[in-house]
Amino acid sequence: MRTDVAVRPASQPDAARLAELLTELGYPVGTDEVCDRLVYWLPDPASRVLVAERGGRVVGCISVHAIPFLERTGRWLRIDSLVVDAGQRRTGTGRALLDAAEALARAWGCLRIEVTSKRSRAGAHAFYRSQGFIDVCDRSGRFTKELSQP
């Protein structure tokens, strides 16, 4: 496993590469859309987009939010997206991004990290398990509702 990866906060110049990575993840998006999204992501103090660089090239990214609990004191960190370039998987990039997210979670007073992943992504599930995540879908349901915009 290679460890020559550097993790840093994303910035607007990363938008084109982030668009490529999100498209690879299965969420096709253009550079302009990613630029627009970064406008509201980057200044949010409870959110972060991090990129992993190897040899000066962005090879992965993770986006996270810290969400306060009401039922107990503390927060939980939600991983919104995590993607590593297909040619860079199994090189320590995903682990470096998760380590950086965990460090943020601890700094923000988070007590838990949560990530969801499509059932069809067996490789991702194996990766998360190897990093100490537990599949808890048998304990609770996950319900979503799409909202139309006026």
Percentage of the chain exceeding pLDDT 70: 83
Domain 6-130 has CATH 3.40.1280.10: no
- Identify the pLDDT of residue 122: 64
- Identify the pLDDT of residue 77: 93
Residues forming a β-bridge with 76:
67, 112
**What residue ranges do the domains of the chain occupy?**
6-130
Which tens digit of pLDDT belongs to each residue from 3-48? Answer: 689 999 999 999 999 999 999 988 999 999 999 999 999 999 999 9
Query: 71 phi and psi, to 5 degrees?
Result: -80, -10
Query: Could you give the strand order of the β-sheet that contains 110-115, starting from the edge strand earlier in sequence?
Result: 6-9, 47-54, 57-68, 75-84, 110-115
Query: 16 phi and psi, to 5 degrees?
Result: -65, -45
Q: In Å, how far are 2, 56, 99, 142 from 118, measured between CA atoms?
A: 27, 31, 22, 12
Q: What is the pLDDT of the chain when averaged over all its residues?
A: 87
